[in-house]
Amino acid sequence: MICFGQQPCGFFPKRFLFAKIQTAHRLQSEMGGEIVFFYHDSDHDPRETRTILRHRKTNEPAQLNFTVENKIQRKFSPLHLKKILSNWQGKTVLQLPNYLDQPPIEVFTKISAANVADFCLEMYRHMGLLDGIRVVRSSDPEFRRAACDISEFFVDVAHEGEIVRARLVDGALRLHEGGDSFVTLPLTAFGKEQISPARDTRLRWMQSVVHCTHYVAGAGEQAYLRREDAPEITFIQRDAIDRSDEAYTEIS
């Protein structure tokens, strides 16, 4: 089983995700097996979905991103619970001709999804990138209940009328405001279906359910993956790609 993992990474995916997908398909052609995409839509960082496109005339890069319903959601809610503002898609499609030809714009207009993670996933599917790939989502309650216990994690809890992703630290639930600033929330009872992993526990947590034999990792992942947590996995570095942080916009 060949696996790669990624947070939602732009309404057009970053090129490094495309490279992971291509690497997984290459491995599958060499050894057979199944490809699994571990879609870490439990992450909450809004920077993950910044979409970098280059202007068609000036070639200058521009950063586009989702607009969500409120500040609490933007900063602290998981990506699968960040609700897209109703006029965002219409406003964005008016900007896209500055950066793209018509085919990817047509795909963009066909997507209908209420939250950030669903929109990204549907976009990737409509682009043909996930054909023949099984997707498992870190937000799935069944996945969470089946996963192993971990020592470092986040908890989805209620805060100011929203569900936020708070880090459990020294027995307290905390939201990181930035820098050295934190908000401490009341500690309440929670179950496994509310838990998602921290960076250092993500591999072990994922592998306890996915049970992959090969894992395609990017350069950033290679630096922090705790390989000792999954010695049974063969780690494969993703194929190189230029402008890796920019958006991939070709339609299969």
Reading the chain (252 residues) residue by residue, the pLDDT tens digits are: 999 999 999 999 999 999 999 999 999 999 999 999 999 999 999 999 999 999 999 999 999 999 999 999 999 999 999 999 999 999 999 999 999 999 999 999 999 999 999 999 999 999 999 999 999 999 999 999 999 999 999 999 999 999 999 999 999 999 998 888 899 999 999 999 999 999 999 999 999 999 999 999 998 887 888 889 999 999 999 999 999 999 999 997
**Eight-class DSSP state of 79:** G
Tell me the residue type at 182: F
Q: Residue 53's pLDDT is what?
A: 98
Q: Residue 223's pLDDT is what?
A: 80
Backbone angles phi, psi at 12, to 5 degrees: -105, 130
Partners of 247 in the beta sheet? Answer: 14
Cα(212)–Cα(246) distance, integer angstroms = 28
Q: Residue 201's pLDDT is what?
A: 95
Q: What is the 3-state secondary structure (H, E, C) of 128-196?
A: CCCCCCEEEECCCHHHHHHCCCCCCEEEEEEECCEEEEEEEECCEEEEEEECCEEEEECCCCCCHHHEE
- Tell me how crowded residue 108 is: count the other CB atoms within 10 A of its CB: 20
Cα(72)–Cα(162) distance, integer angstroms = 7
Do 124 and 13 contact (CB within 8 A), yes or no? yes
Q: Residue 235's pLDDT is what?
A: 95
Q: Residue 146's pLDDT is what?
A: 98
Cα(38)–Cα(228) distance, integer angstroms = 19
Cα(39)–Cα(32) distance, integer angstroms = 22
Q: Residue 219's pLDDT is what?
A: 81
Q: Residue 178's pLDDT is what?
A: 84
